[in-house]
Structure 1
Amino acid sequence: MKFKKPKLVPDAKKGWTWRSVQAASLNTAILSTWVAMPDDMKVAIPEKWVLVTAIVVGFSGIIGRFIDQGAGDA
């Protein structure tokens, strides 16, 4: 199986306006903050909430990928 060389979509500069990219960025921020947070602060937030939030945001990114977001949505 031969793979094509990856290339950017024509309007990659507008990528930050796409819902799927915004959701992935938010998910990264949530999980990175959780990992960096000291253990004594983590006690105040149930771990299950963090995981459920990450899953919901992740799925919203997938859904956002399939929704027409106007002209230029790659």
Structure 2
Amino acid sequence: MRLIPDWRRAWRYHSTQSMAVLAVLPLVWIEIPPDLKSHIPGALMPWILSAVALAGILGRLRDQGGADMGEGPGPGRAGAARGRGR
């Protein structure tokens, strides 16, 4: 398995954050008291999970910039800094 070049910054990507929410959501659901769970219709759960997954896909496709995220270019912007200063 090869890691992406900027793997140390992967936690900043919206897709990584969405996948983390998907991983933690079932664990959080278990801990919610039954009286609070009763306020969320069970039929909504697949829609909520699908929305988070869709956000992950869109986060992966969206250009998230790089200059404002700290050092170096962000995801999908490896060559963006080369065109500056022409």
* Cα drift, residue 23 of structure 1: 0.8
After superposition, the C-alpha distances for 1:9-58 in whole angstroms (9 at most, x for unaligned) are: 01101001101001111122222222455666533422222221111010
RMSD: 2.0
Is residue 53 from structure 1 mapped to residue 48 from structure 2 by the alignment? yes
* The structure with more radius of gyration: 2
Q: Percent identity?
A: 30
Task: Specify every segment of 5 or more residues in structure 2 that has no aligned partner in the other structure, as ranges.
Answer: 66-72, 77-86
State the TM-score, normalizing by the size of structure 1.
0.73
Q: Number of matched residues?
A: 69
Larger relative CO (CA 8 A, sep 6+): 1 or 2?
1
